[in-house]
């Protein structure tokens, strides 16, 4: 790998995050309901319209449980039914989870932890996707529902792990391609009386929406009580110590997203003592916090956009973010505040009008680019 850093007007400044809180759990849990105005109608996950109504109605109930004004949690807007039906399962999970993570950005739940950060996940990463799928395959094969931490497996992975991962400590470690955070796995399972010809078939319609709704708004035997804290985790975990946060460290790629997820999904035969149920659909979600791009770990984001070949950024001001291109970046813009990073495979050309204002941060780096993060 080629790697070169160009120290051009690097004016370091202290950047303090004002938004760190992870939203607290709802209590009591919120049943799925497509029409809150009718006490009889609860509805189901029958269409994108039903999914949208059920998720948005749950937000209204959540607002009433806390000090939030009505309609302050941003509504989800589902794509058309045709677009939704053609999305791969991983992308459906990512869409719904990120919509929930972003919906509460800037809201303060009045529990002394400040406003919610509300950053989405960067995307689905191939290696953590394999970790999640392998675990759910094992659980189905062994007819078990005992979800286990995948931290040792992640540590041993040649791309997202490394020889320096094991042991105590937070933050970036030498020879390790992920950072440590709490609660890195959640599951959803639904047993039924189905008998598909192929037991591995997923028979639960809209399992992605059902799983995400269960993780965010309620739990039963199908999921865990800490799922919401895991799925909505930000830089500071819910109820955590600001002096020793166990959430994400937003130091990889764009400042507007953080963390990679993996989804495992499998159907099978439940354990013999499952009260007569003949089928089980099982979901595993796990994730990791990547280390800074400068470390050189070769993550494979399957949902991210391909890199542009060439990029021109002449904005005044240039929005603080991570700008990448496989060949070149040219800029005549102005870095006024925050941090701007540019990474290109062959060259970065800063024209005569390019400027970095005192107090801002600019980095230029010649390195390989595999995908964009937005």
Concatenated DSSP letters for 241-308?
-TTS--S----SS-TT---EEEEEEEEEPPPTTSTT--EEEEEEEEEEBPPPGGG-----BSSSBPPP
Question: Rounded to whole angstroms, how far apart are CA atoms 374 and 359?
Answer: 26
Q: Which residue has the higher pLDDT, 141 or 111?
A: 141
Q: Which of 255, 238, 205 is CA-nearest to residue 46?
A: 205
Q: What are phi and psi of 269, to 5 degrees?
A: -100, 130
Cβ neighbours, 10 Å, residue 295: 17
Supply the pLDDT for residue 184.
79
CB proximity list for 214: less than 8 A, separation 6 or greater: 188, 220, 222, 223, 227
Q: Is the pLDDT of residue 19 over 60?
A: no
Question: Rounded to whole angstroms, how far apart are CA atoms 239 and 241?
Answer: 7
Q: How far is CA 261 from CA 11, 94, 161, 179, in A?
A: 33, 8, 14, 14
Angle at 289 between CA 177 and CA 189, to 5 degrees: 115
Residue located via tokens 């991962």: 165
Question: Rounded to whole angstroms, how far apart are CA atoms 361 and 143?
Answer: 53
Q: Is the pLDDT of residue 17 over 50?
A: no
> Could you write out the three-class secondary structure of 166-203?
CCCCCCCCCCCCCECCCCCEEEEEEEECCCCCCCCCCC
Work out the pLDDT band at 221, boundaries 50, 70, 90. Answer: very low
Identity of the highest mean pLDDT range in 16-20, 60-64, 245-249, 339-343: 60-64
| Average pLDDT value for residue range 167-195 | 84
CB proximity list for 136: less than 8 A, separation 6 or greater: 187, 264, 265, 266, 282, 283, 284
Question: Rounded to whole angstroms, how far apart are CA atoms 150 and 156?
Answer: 10
* Ranges 31-35, 98-102, 160-164, 178-182: which has the least confidence: 178-182
Question: Rounded to whole angstroms, how far apart are CA atoms 188 and 169?
Answer: 30
| Average pLDDT value for residue range 209-222 | 81
Supply the pLDDT for residue 8.
41
Cβ neighbours, 10 Å, residue 157: 18
Residue 10 φ/ψ region, left for φ over 0, alpha for ψ in the -120 to 50 degree band, beta for the rest:
beta
Question: Is there a contact between 223 and 186 (Cβ–Cβ < 8 Å)?
Answer: yes
Supply the pLDDT for residue 317.
95
Question: Rounded to whole angstroms, how far apart are CA atoms 86 and 95?
Answer: 13
| Average pLDDT value for residue range 147-168 | 89
């Amino acid at each position: 790998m080629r790697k070169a850093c160009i120290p051009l007007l690097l004016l370091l400044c202290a950047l303090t995050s004002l938004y760190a809180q992870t939203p607290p759990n709802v209590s009591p849990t919120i049943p799925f309901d497509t029409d809150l105005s009718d006490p009889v109608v609860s509805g189901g996950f029958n269409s994108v319209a039903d999914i949208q109504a059920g998720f948005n109605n749950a937000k209204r109930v959540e607002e009433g449980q806390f000090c939030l004004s009505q309609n302050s949690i941003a509504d989800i807007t589902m794509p058309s039914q045709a677009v939704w039906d053609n999305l791969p399962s991983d992308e459906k999970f990512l869409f719904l989870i990120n919509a929930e993570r972003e919906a509460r950005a800037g809201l303060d739940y009045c529990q002394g932890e400040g406003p919610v950060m509300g950053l989405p996940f960067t995307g689905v990463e191939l290696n953590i996707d394999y970790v999640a799928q392998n675990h759910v395959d094992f659980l189905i094969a062994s007819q078990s529902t005992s979800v286990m931490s995948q931290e040792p497996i992640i540590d041993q992975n040649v791309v997202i792990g490394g020889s320096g991962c094991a042991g105590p400590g937070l933050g970036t470690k030498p020879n390790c391609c992920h950072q440590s955070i709490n609660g890195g796995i959640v599951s959803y399972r639904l047993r039924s009386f189905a008998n598909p010809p192929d037991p591995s078939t997923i028979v639960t319609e809209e399992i992605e929406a059902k799983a995400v709704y269960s993780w965010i708004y309620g739990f039963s035997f199908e999921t865990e009580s800490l799922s919401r804290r895991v799925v909505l985790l930000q830089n500071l975990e819910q109820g955590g110590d600001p002096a020793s946060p166990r959430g994400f460290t937003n130091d990889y790629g764009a400042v507007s997203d953080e963390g990679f997820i993996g989804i495992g999904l499998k159907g099978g035969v439940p354990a013999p003592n499952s009260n007569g149920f003949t089928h089980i659909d099982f979901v595993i979600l796990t994730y990791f916090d990547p280390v800074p791009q400068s470390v050189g770990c070769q993550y494979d984001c399957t949902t991210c956009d391909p890199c542009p070949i060439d990029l021109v950024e002449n904005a005044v001001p240039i929005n603080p973010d991570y700008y990448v291109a496989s060949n070149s970046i040219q800029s005549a813009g102005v870095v006024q505040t925050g941090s701007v990073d540019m990474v290109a495979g062959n060259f970065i050309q800063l024209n005569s009008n390019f400027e970095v204002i005192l107090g801002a941060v600019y980095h230029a780096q010649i390195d390989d680019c595999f995908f964009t993060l937005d």
